[in-house]
């Protein structure tokens, strides 16, 4: 066995053993343990767990890959996801924690005094969460297929088994403690290679500063200026100015990711695991620090990965790479099918250009960039193995959170909340575990037939959450008079118009092998891409809800009192009467 494989096995299976041990130690014994970890998680622990939940395969594997290829345009993911987290922490989480229920549909059911609203919320939640979990499964398959040198499908099955063991056994309690361990693995796996590569390229050990530094070769040229020169010489867009379909599309995309983030139930659920509203606010602060540690490094990882890739395939001297002399990392990724070369002119050399007719790198999957980056930079084998463990930790942590959100919405919100209200706690726990098993099998099937690459699929999930769940939560907290009827029609119209727009444009993620941006600009509504359309869907949701509210009687007094009580800080006394 070679050294890299040995290190990889130690890193990957060592972390898996840790996750299994934690799941067994923290296994759920009650529905409260299963759904909200008994409400006894400390703010710092919850902050780390939120960080792991947040940093999915899309954040860890795909985001830097997107930034590497989209350049400046990829910043929408950083702005959208980080801004959305702030929105969630400030405007939603503390109020929902004060209400004190297990799930998002349960909050919607209470606030809108309607089982119909609960069912609609469950459907919206499942649509968004299943779309999101596909991206995680793709990430698991990509990481396993390369680093354990197994078939993509087999890698996916191994990942499904790992998630099943600790998510089904431990519920939210097991998932929380596992996610704390996964956060630690993830942050080391992301930052250590970035520090090495930043030192190598610029002499600066801090990647965030290295991105804006001059190259270490003594030329005095800035890293980003050099990267711009390299990519524009080959016909690609300038790295530092390229955007995604114009200013309006960039704005809509950022807003869609932002409000979709604030409406994603698997993260909101994390705020129900702490003992108080104050603890929810504190854990939001800790989580922001944990998330920033990775998100501020991502632009440097993306730019440096693209720089190293271009320099390997198209060296500065202008002499193209001879295919038979390609480095080992190139051969390794070719085996996975995620990197493909086609010798179009028969000269035995690799030409990598923006011109589809002459470009011989016919496939460079964005998702390989973070995982391949340490090997491209010739870093030590233990660093490469660490990245493998980090990529898997990212995908598995978010997959577990999403699967719990799906399972609790079916067992707690549909079965216990609507169809079988007298279900015993033991049966509800069993139903939760069975539902999660089915959800894992379904997600695995979709992972084996993946729609586009991970972050593209995930972007769509945020759009669906933005257009359906976020407006219902915002109106529920900040509009006392909003009625159940108005909210239901708002959610249906929001998610309906978004899905209609997505499906009517060919080239969306649901067709394997198609472009992430679809049929760029053709028949787009004001030039807004399908992935960015969640922001428009949210406006439709708000518009329909307030229009119906105008035509119907406002919410009953006891509901308005409930909203008033939820919005007043604990211990505020009677100050609101004045």
The DSSP line for 390-438 is HHHHHHHHHHHHHHHHHHHIIIIIIIIIII-TT--HHHHHHHHHHHHHH
Q: How confident is residue 574, by pLDDT bands cut at 50, 70 and 90?
A: very low
Query: In the 8-state DSSP scheme, what is residue 321?
Result: P
Q: In which domain, by residue range, is 87 found?
A: 3-307+379-416+425-445
Q: Find all residues with CB under 8 Å of 430, minimum gap 6, and list them.
A: none
pLDDT value of residue 167: 72
Q: Mean pLDDT across the chain, nearest whole number? A: 80
Q: How confident is residue 275, by pLDDT bands cut at 50, 70 and 90?
A: confident
- The reply to whether 194 falls in a domain is yes
pLDDT value of residue 205: 92
pLDDT digits (tens, 9 = 90+) for 493-533: 999 998 888 776 534 433 333 333 444 445 566 778 777 88
Region 226-245: mean pLDDT is 79
Q: Find all residues with CB under 8 Å of 292, minimum gap 6, and list them.
A: 82
Six-digit token string for 268: 């909101």
Q: How confident is residue 571, by pLDDT bands cut at 50, 70 and 90?
A: very low
379-381-382-386 Cα dihedral, nearest 10 degrees: 80
The Cα–Cα gap between 277 and 51 comes to 19
**Between 323 and 34, whose confidence is greater?**
323
pLDDT value of residue 500: 83
- The reply to whether 341 falls in a domain is no
The Cα–Cα gap between 504 and 514 comes to 15
pLDDT value of residue 202: 92
pLDDT digits (tens, 9 = 90+) for 206-229: 999 988 898 888 888 898 898 888
pLDDT value of residue 576: 42
pLDDT digits (tens, 9 = 90+) for 121-159: 888 888 787 777 777 777 777 777 777 777 778 888 887
pLDDT digits (tens, 9 = 90+) for 347-388: 888 888 888 788 888 888 787 888 888 988 888 888 888 888
Helix, strand, coil abundance in the chain, percent, nearest 5? 75, 0, 25
Residue 214 has phi, psi (to 5 degrees) of -85, 160
- The reply to whether 480 falls in a domain is no
The Cα–Cα gap between 492 and 121 comes to 9
Q: How confident is residue 417, by pLDDT bands cut at 50, 70 and 90?
A: confident
pLDDT value of residue 383: 87
- The reply to whether 332 falls in a domain is no
pLDDT value of residue 1: 57
pLDDT value of residue 509: 38
- Count Cβ neighbours within 10 Å for each residue of 499-525 and write b for 16 or more, e otherwise: bebbeebebbbbeeebebbbeeeeebe
pLDDT value of residue 573: 42
pLDDT value of residue 570: 53
Domains of the chain: total: 1
pLDDT value of residue 445: 83
Q: How confident is residue 488, by pLDDT bands cut at 50, 70 and 90?
A: very high
pLDDT digits (tens, 9 = 90+) for 8-31: 888 888 888 887 788 777 766 666
pLDDT value of residue 148: 72
Give the other-Cβ count within 10 Å of 30's Cβ: 14
Q: How confident is residue 550, by pLDDT bands cut at 50, 70 and 90?
A: very high
**Is residue 273 predicted with pLDDT exceeding 60?**
yes
- The reply to whether 570 falls in a domain is no
Percent of the chain with pLDDT over 70: 87
Count of alpha carbons within 13 angstroms of residue 395, beta-carbon side: 35
- The reply to whether 504 falls in a domain is no
pLDDT value of residue 521: 45
Six-digit token string for 412: 């707690």
**Is residue 177 predicted with pLDDT exceeding 70?**
yes
Q: Closest Cα partner for 276 from 556, 454, 36, 547?
A: 36
């Amino acid at each position: 066995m070679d050294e890299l494989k040995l290190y990889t096995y130690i890193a990957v299976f060592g972390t898996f053993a840790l996750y299994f041990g934690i799941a067994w130690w923290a296994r759920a014994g009650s529905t409260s343990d299963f759904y909200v970890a008994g409400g006894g998680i400390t703010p710092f622990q919850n902050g780390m767990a939120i960080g792991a939940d947040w940093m999915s395969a899309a954040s860890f594997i795909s985001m830097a890959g997107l930034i590497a290829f989209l350049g400046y345009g990829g910043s929408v993911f950083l702005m959208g996801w980080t801004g959305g987290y702030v929105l969630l922490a400030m405007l939603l989480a503390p109020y929902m924690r004060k209400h004190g229920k297990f799930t998002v549909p349960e909050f919607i059911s209470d606030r809108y005094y309607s089982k119909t609203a609960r069912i609609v919320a469950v459907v919206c939640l499942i649509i968004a969460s299943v779309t999101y979990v596909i991206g995680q499964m793709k990430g698991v398959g990509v990481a396993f297929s390369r680093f354990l040198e197994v078939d993509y499908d087999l890698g996916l099955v191994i990942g499904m088994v790992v998630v099943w063991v600790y998510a089904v056994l431990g519920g939210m309690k097991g998932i929380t403690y596992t996610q704390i361990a996964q956060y630690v693995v993830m942050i080391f796996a992301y930052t250590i290679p970035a520090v090495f590569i930043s030192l190598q390229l610029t002499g600066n050990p801090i990647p965030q500063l290295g991105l804006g530094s001059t190259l270490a070769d003594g030329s005095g040229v800035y890293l980003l200026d050099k990267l711009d020169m390299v990519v524009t010489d080959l016909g690609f867009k300038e790295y530092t100015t390229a955007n995604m379909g114009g200013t309006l599309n960039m704005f809509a995309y950022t807003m869609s990711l932002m409000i979709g983030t604030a409406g994603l139930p698997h993260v909101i659920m994390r705020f129900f695991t702490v003992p108080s509203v104050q603890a929810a606010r504190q854990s939001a602060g800790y989580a922001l620090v944990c998330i920033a540690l990775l998100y501020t490094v991502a632009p440097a990882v993306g730019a440096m990965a693209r720089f190293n890739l271009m320099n390997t395939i198209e060296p500065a001297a202008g002499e193209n790479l001879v295919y038979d002399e390609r480095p080992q990392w190139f051969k390794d990724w070719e085996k996975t099918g995620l990197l493909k070369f086609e010798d179009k002119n028969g000269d035995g050399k690799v030409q990598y250009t923006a011109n589809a007719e002459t470009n011989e790198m016919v496939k460079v999957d964005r998702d390989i960039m973070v995982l391949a980056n340490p090997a491209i930079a010739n870093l030590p084998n233990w660093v490469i193995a660490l990245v493998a463990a980090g990529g898997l930790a990212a995908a598995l942590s978010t997959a577990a959170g999403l699967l719990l959100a799906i399972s609790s919405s079916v067992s707690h919100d549909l079965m216990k909340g609507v169809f079988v209200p007298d279900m015993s706690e033991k049966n509800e726990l069993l139903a939760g575990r069975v539902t999660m098993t089915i959800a894992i099998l379904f997600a695995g099937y979709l992972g084996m037939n993946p729609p586009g690459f991970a972050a593209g699929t995930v972007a769509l999930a945020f759009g669906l959450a933005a257009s359906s769940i976020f407006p219902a939560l915002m109106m529920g907290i900040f509009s006392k008079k909003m009625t159940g009827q108005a909210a239901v029609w708002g959610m249906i119209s929001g998610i309906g118009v978004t899905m209609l727009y997505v499906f009517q444009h060919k080239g969306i993620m649901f067709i394997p092998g198609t472009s992430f941006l679809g049929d760029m600009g053709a028949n787009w509504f004001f030039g807004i891409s399908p992935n960015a359309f969640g922001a428009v869907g949210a406006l439709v949701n708000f518009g329909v809800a307030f229009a119906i509210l105008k035509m119907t009687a406002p919410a009953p007094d006891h509901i308005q009192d409930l909203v008033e009580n939820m919005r007043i800080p604990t211990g505020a006394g009677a100050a609101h009467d004045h």
